[in-house]
Amino acid sequence: MQQPFKNFKVLIVKHDEHSKNSMSVKTQDAFHKISAKIANKVGNAWSFFIALAIIIIWAVTGPLFNFSDTWQLIINTGTTIVTFLMVFVIQNTQNRDARAVHLKLDELIDTSRTARSEFVDIEDLSDSELDELNQHFKEVKEKLHGK
């Protein structure tokens, strides 16, 4: 049996507390922790139902406020702010998830005897190169299935 981490090399980088990048690293780590917590909290059914309840309450209160501009401004401003902030939270979590998946796939490629090592950094290829590769695999599939 092949050892899964036989060729695995780890680069350990120590961050000096007084270096100019230490603040950046601390900020990035804090942002990731906050983003992960927010994504986990708002990515469930209860959050959806709470948001739906807020919209229903807002809609029901329309006649109380004569559907005024201020009444409309409240929901417009609230949803705009939440949407703006959630874009960064979602992008952060997706970037980290994609990076983790790529690393897992790279490990599988590295430990597989028949895998081609050229596929390790395939995400860095151009769209046209990915299209060519996609076409190649379609042709392989057709040959295998006799179509």
CA distance 123 to 125: 6
* Complete DSSP assignment for 46-88: HHHHHHHHHHHHHHHTTGGGTT-HHHHHHHHHHHHHHHHHHHH
Q: What is the pLDDT of residues 70-86, one digit of tens each?
A: 999 999 999 999 999 99
pTM over 0.85: no
Q: What is the pLDDT of residues 88-133, one digit of tens each?
A: 999 998 988 888 888 888 888 888 888 887 778 888 888 888 888 8
